[in-house]
Amino acid sequence: MIRLGRRIRSGIVVATVAIGLVAATAAPAQAGVWTFIDGFENNPEATWFFETPDNGFGDFGGFDGTPHTGARYATVYRFVPGWSSVDRSLRLPVSWFSRQCTLQGFIQEWPGTLFNLEVIDPTTWSYVALRSFTIPDLDWHAYQVSWTGGPRDVVLRFVVVSDRAFARIKVDDVAVVCVTIP
């Protein structure tokens, strides 16, 4: 019974996130909308990967805290100053017109932890979108970065950035919404 309640709650949160992202793009009614949602529940090891130049790692679990929704999330760890990330390649919809997209993820960790939301062009490994944040408290919060145009194939990255001996971020309920305006 508890599991059913969690799934229903997870579905409601995901639907709310998608509706909020669509509303935030302020597109005309005839615009095409494309949505991608991933809560790390269904074999994230097959599509997500961890990047770390040294002394960092990640896992998909839910072992050291409570997920935003569902049973799993991604955790990215750092054990020396530097950066580590959880990444995923994503193919956006074809657009012959203007396309505006928003990446959103729910993040949790200690107050003061620094992290980036990044969207990268994998052919040039240059930023399509980048935004840095500092976590304000111990609660899960939604963070977003938006971009217009860009390549069809992108890499989504959630990056913990640390100048300390230890840092981590927990990532859950990732969504990308693209609106195509004719």
Domain residue spans of the chain: 2-181
Query: For residues 76 and 169, is the Cβ–Cβ distance under 8 A?
Result: yes
| Neighbour count for residue 89 (Cβ, 10 Å) | 13
- Give the whole-angstrom CA distance, residue 89 versus residue 34: 16
| Fold exhibited by the domain 2-181 | Jelly Rolls (2.60.120)
Sign of CA dihedral 102, 114, 55, 106: negative
> Could you give the maximum distance between any two Cα atoms of the chain, in Å?
51
Query: For residues 76 and 50, is the Cβ–Cβ distance under 8 A?
Result: yes
Query: For residues 177 and 101, is the Cβ–Cβ distance under 8 A?
Result: yes
Please identify which residue in the block is written with the tokens 């961890």.
50
Which amino acid is present at 181? Answer: I
Q: Which 3-state string (H, E, C) describes 90-131?
A: EECCCCCCEEEEEEEEEEECCCCCEEEEEEEECCCCEEEEEE
Q: Which 3-state string (H, E, C) describes 44-91?
A: HHHCEEEECCCCEEEEEECCCCCCCCCCCEEEEEECCCEEEEEEEEEE
User: What average pLDDT score do residues 131-139 get?
Assistant: 96
- Give the whole-angstrom CA distance, residue 19 versus residue 124: 32
Question: pLDDT tens, 32-68?
Answer: 899 999 999 999 999 999 998 877 678 888 767 788 9
User: What average pLDDT score do residues 88-105 get?
Assistant: 90
Position 118 scores a pLDDT of: 98
H or E stretch at 169? strand 167-181
% of the chain at pLDDT higher than 90: 63
Position 31 scores a pLDDT of: 59
- For the cut 80, the answer to whether the pLDDT of residue 10 exceeds it is no
